[in-house]
Amino acid sequence: MSQRLHDLRMTIKVLHVITGLLTGGAEMMLYKLSQFADRERLAPAVVSLSDKGEMGSSIEALDVPVTALNMPRRGLSVAAYFRLRGLIKEIDPHVIQGWMYHGNLAATLAGRGRAVVWNIRHSLDDISKDSSWTRAAIRIGAMLSKTPECIIYNSHNNADRHEAYGYCQDKRRVIANGFDTDLFAPSEQARQKIRQELHLPPDALIIGLIARYHPIKDHANFLQAAALLHKRRPQTRFVMAGAKVEPSNMELMQIIAQSSLQDAVFLLGNRKDMATLVPALDIASSSSRGEAFPNVLGEAMSCGVPCVATDVGDSRYIIGSTGKVVPPGNPEALAAGWQEMVEMGHEGRRRLGGMAREHIIKNYSINGVASQYERIYQSLVGQNRCVG
């Protein structure tokens, strides 16, 4: 019994194997778990199958070792596989946590004989939009989905879709995304800073979309809705940020020109100051055709910013009664949702945003989410099985 208690209190070595470390939902969640992990209980290390990307140095700054295998993005590297096997032998982790399809497969193949956990965050709304390489990994994952100890999904909708595709139902664990409510918080200073940067008056009303440029995010839907609202409220301004959301994106610029929004839309690209940009918004939006658990909604709500989002993934559950949910691919409905928020006035939006922040603190704080991961790891070490 004393040995068992000792084992449960030991420092658990967790090796995270992730496809890459660009700035995305999975990468940010890994960063936050590394930041908020109980380091007396967990000793994390990270392996990126590709390079260290944009997030590698940030994770290393948390005193978490990061190794890049520099595998080709569309191919398998035998040398990288054996290097991963060597790292696993050297680190001797209690648990190997895979992230994203390729990271999950690499963790399973190279981590034979060890406790492996998968993490799946892809919405799987339209597999035809994915690359052939990703589609192959999804199919192989379905065939191998009985092998991990458990599969962590970040939304119930995400789990349902994968299980309908053939992923093992018995392995399901759902852990929502978590948010740093101290970092993402209401800030009048941030509101004024962004308005000064954009040369807007202090009381300018800003509606924001923060999402990488990808068909699933449906930026065209956002801009079409913006054109509708702008005709009614010409003083409204629209801020868009994310990877490839910049003036060099000719597809975006063409839609903006066709909608006569040149003076109303700001394309800010991939920002590193999201904790300043998000609380500057009056209304946050998600115009996606598909999602699992949109981080942008939780971050905005944590900042006290009410949201209008399309009814995809777990967006309805995240927002609850603190915002508006509209059908996807319907710019008229999206514009109507914004219009309702605009007509509330500043005080009405502030009260709704306060409710949104309370909702995030109560249900989606990063500390609580990190504890859920730790309990899974602990259960594997203590009982050699996954009980979430």
Task: Give the 3-state DSSP-derived string for 130-197, with helices as H, strands as E and coil as C.
Answer: CCHHHHHHHHHHHHHCCCCCEEEECCHHHHHHHHHHCCCHHHEEECCCCECCCCCCCCHHHHHHHHHH
Q: Please give the pLDDT value at position 25.
A: 84
Looking at residue 63, its pLDDT comes to 97
Point out the least confidently predicted range of 134-138, 219-223, 303-307.
134-138
Give the model's pLDDT for residue 291.
Answer: 86
- H helix runs in the chain, sequence order: 2-9, 25-36, 56-60, 78-91, 100-110, 132-144, 156-165, 188-197, 219-232, 250-258, 274-277, 295-302, 315-319, 331-363, 366-383
Q: Is the predicted pLDDT of residue 384 greater than 60, yes or no? A: no
Confidence class for position 383, pLDDT limits 50, 70, 90: low
At 9 the pLDDT is: 58
For 13-55, the pLDDT digits (tens) are: 999 999 999 888 899 999 999 999 999 999 999 999 999 998 9
Other Cβ atoms less than 10 A from the Cβ of 208: the count is: 26
Q: Do domains 2-178+366-383 and 188-363 have the same CATH topology?
A: yes
> Crossing angle of helices 366-383/25-36, nearest 10°?
80
Which one-letter DSSP state was computed for residue 71? -
Per-residue pLDDT averaged across 362-379, rounded? Answer: 95
CATH number for the domain running over 2-178+366-383: 3.40.50.2000
206 with 306: CB under 8 angstroms? Answer: no
| CATH hierarchy code of domain 188-363 | 3.40.50.2000
Mean pLDDT computed over every residue of the chain: 93
Tell me which of 241 and 294 has the higher pLDDT.
241
pLDDT of residue 195: 98
The domain locations on the chain are 2-178+366-383, 188-363
Q: Which of the residue ranges 71-85, 173-187, 289-303 would you say has the lowest mean pLDDT?
A: 71-85
Residue 126 pLDDT greater than 80, yes or no: no
Mean pLDDT, residues 155-184 taken together = 95
Give the predicted TM-score (pTM) of the model. Answer: 0.81
